[in-house]
Amino acid sequence: MFARRNRRPKSAGALKAWECLEAGDVPAGIRELRGAGEDAALGDVAMVVRRAAGMVGFEDLEGAAAAVAADPGDARALAGYGYACVERGLAFLAVPALREALRQLPGKPGVLRELVTAYEREGRHREAVEVLLAHESGLAPWPDRYLLVFNALMSGDLALARDRHAGLPDPEDPVWLPAQARQRLMLARAGAAAAVSPLDGTDLRGWQYVIGGTVLGTLSPYGFSAGMTGRYAWLQDSPELCLAGLLRLRALLEAAEVRPRSVALLPDRGSRILGTAAADVLGLPAEPFAAGAADTLVVAYDLEALAETDEGRDALMSLRERAPGQVLHEHASCWTDTPVVTPDSAALLRQSVVAPWESRMRVTEGGGVERSESDDRPDAEIAADIAAADPAPAEGDEDAPADTDAAFTAFAAAVRGSWLQGPRDRVRSAGPVGSSRFS
């Protein structure tokens, strides 16, 4: 027993992770496991996961990992371990275990579905499609064939999604009706966007609309072909970018013939500033946000910031369901940790952002770098600076595709019939268009 307790993993990636745990650093150990990929021996990885789970008190995962560490070839132990990994937010660890369990138990729909779930959590929709197609003859209509259509859409395979959707019967269990409605909306949005947008592997605006109903206002002109594909990684925002987003929002409302009566100011400071600027740019009165108010434009700088207060969380909850005539616009929308409420319009997609009024890094006259003071002026003064900013777009990189006002307006006009439909469910995946990110 003593020798068994003091075993160490042999594969390099798992051993590095083990050493991180010996130093008391569980997050670093998990990062090492992700970096090691899926080639490390399942038993070695399970040893590390068992120890990490014990250190943080995840007893379910600790027990499941211990079973795999004891017998890495036990299909049922692998399935239980994969399920526990998914439940604890470690879907990347679940994939190889569930894949092996399914190889041994090919007729087990529960294992197949859990593997698909793990792929989805990791944004690996193409692999989810491939494993579902490999077992297609045994798929139940709901949820399995629905999942095939969904993952085909999320991987950018519109032809496959349309083909399999055509043969999908209505669900007998009403619990699947919302999923059916959501899928129909996605396909309807794809049909509308395809009239003016290529919906290929770099069409960020088109696919952002298909997967969540969000009209993306601007594309990042930096690093497009170097991996960013229209998204920002780390962004020090500016009044100019804020104004560019509001001008695209105005063009969207005009093209869609949507006429809000007011701008609703959410309770966080960033949203109050941007909402006040939006009211100026759009020529609308501003008023405090009220849940359920119809025909209003709700403007958020960053929806994540709302979750920091009780008042903000209440506002977020109320925004899940769209009030009649209500439009939700978010300026800096996070694509790596998506907001719990999907906006109808987003000015830009970013991973990390520093708002124009926050403390930021700047270059000094001597060539050094310093951190500026935050801008504590009244909200209205900062909003006035946004409304008066230079709207000319940044030059960006030479290989960045043109993002013209005319092209954006054409897109907005093409999708207006399918815009503002359905609930604002969270979309966790980045969809078919990938971008580089910080780990």
Structure-block tokens of residue 15:
């051993």
The burial class, CB within 10 Å (0-12 / 13-18 / 19+), for 176 is middle
Same fold flag, 2-188 and 200-415: no
pLDDT at 4: 46
In a 13 Å sphere around the CA of 164, the CA atoms on its Cβ side amount to: 25
Per-position pLDDT tens, the chain of length 439: 333 455 888 888 899 999 999 999 999 999 999 999 898 899 999 999 999 999 999 999 999 999 999 999 999 999 999 999 999 999 999 999 999 999 999 989 999 999 999 999 999 999 999 999 999 999 999 999 999 999 999 999 999 999 999 999 999 999 999 999 999 999 999 999 999 999 999 999 999 999 999 999 999 999 999 999 999 999 999 999 999 999 999 999 999 999 999 999 999 999 999 999 999 999 999 999 999 999 999 999 999 999 999 999 999 999 999 999 999 999 999 999 999 999 999 999 999 999 999 998 777 777 777 888 999 999 999 999 999 999 888 888 888 889 999 999 999 999 999 999 999 999 999 999 999 988 6
CATH number of 200-415: 3.40.50.2020
**158: which residues sit within 8 A by CB, 6+ positions away?**
152, 190, 194, 199
Class of domain 2-188: mainly alpha
List the beta bridge partners of residue 350.
334
Single out the residue of 280, 298, 407, 286 nearest to residue 344, CA to CA.
298
Whether 183 contacts 150, CB under 8 Å: yes
Whether 3 contacts 34, CB under 8 Å: no
pLDDT at 272: 98
Whether 271 contacts 299, CB under 8 Å: yes
pLDDT at 12: 87
- Residue ranges of domains in the chain: 2-188, 200-415
The burial class, CB within 10 Å (0-12 / 13-18 / 19+), for 404 is exposed
* HEC assignment per residue over the chain: CHHHHCCCCCCHHHHHHHHHHHCCCHHHHHHHHHHHCCCCCHHHHHHHHHHHHHHHCCHHHHHHHHHHHHCCCCHHHHHHHHHHHHHCCCHHHHHHHHHHHHHHCCCCHHHHHHHHHHHHHCCCHHHHHHHHHHCHHHCCHHHHHHHHHHHHHHCCCHHHHHHHHHCCCCCCCHHHHHHHHHHHHHHHHHHHHCCCCCCCCCCHHHHHHHHHCCEECCCCCCCHHHHHCCCCCEEECCHHHHHHHHHHHHHHHHHHCCCCCEEEECCCHHHHHHHHHHHHHHCCCEEECCCCCCCEEEEECCHHHHCCCHHHHHHHHHHCCCCCCCEEEEEEEECCCCCCCCCCEEEEEECEEECCCCCCEEECCCCCEEECCCCCCCHHHHHHHHHCCCCCCCCCCCCCCCCCHHHHHHHHHHHCCCCCCCCCCCCCCCCCCCCCCCC
